[in-house]
Amino acid sequence: MGIVCICTSMLCIFISQQWAWKGTGSGSKYWTEVHTDLGVISTVLAVAQPINSLFRCGPTHSRRVIFNWAHRIVGIIAYTLALTAIIIAAVQFKRIWNEPLLELVLVCLPIFICLVASIAFTALESERFRSKASFG
């Protein structure tokens, strides 16, 4: 469902821009190009995640740890690039935002979600590791 939402939002963005490319090489303003490039790269990485999961090895395979880390790193990079694109939009595209509080929430909420998720997943992973170690 997430991929459907991502692809739908990209479609809406391209329609709103009359299908004109605004990224690198378009002659747009610098921050518009950076915002576009980061958004497209993060979208490609996010769409690649479920495709990558089709190639994962079994849970007991010796290389499963490598897959897990690669999958995790690609997800973190995609999220970080998307978050950077959001921050650029909130900070650089002032004519769109007339509510400074909304701009602050837009920038801080994804960072907060990322921090909470990172802490939660780290705790779950270490708990799972400890329980495996105690059972041999």
The answer to the question of residue 52 being in a domain is yes
The pLDDT value recorded for residue 20 is 83
pLDDT in tens, the chain (136 residues): 788 888 898 898 889 888 888 888 888 888 889 999 999 999 999 999 998 888 888 888 888 888 888 888 999 899 889 988 888 887 777 666 677 677 778 778 878 888 898 889 888 887 776 766 555 5
77 and 45 Cβ atoms separated by less than 8 Å: yes
The answer to the question of residue 65 being in a domain is yes
What is the domain range of residue 26?
2-9+22-134
The answer to the question of residue 16 being in a domain is no
78 and 46 Cβ atoms separated by less than 8 Å: yes
- Domain tally, the chain: 1
The pLDDT value recorded for residue 77 is 92
The answer to the question of residue 15 being in a domain is no
3-state secondary structure 31-80: HHHHHHHHHHHHHHHHHHHHHHHCCCCCCCCCCHHHHHHHHHHHHHHHHH
As a residue count, the chain comes to 136
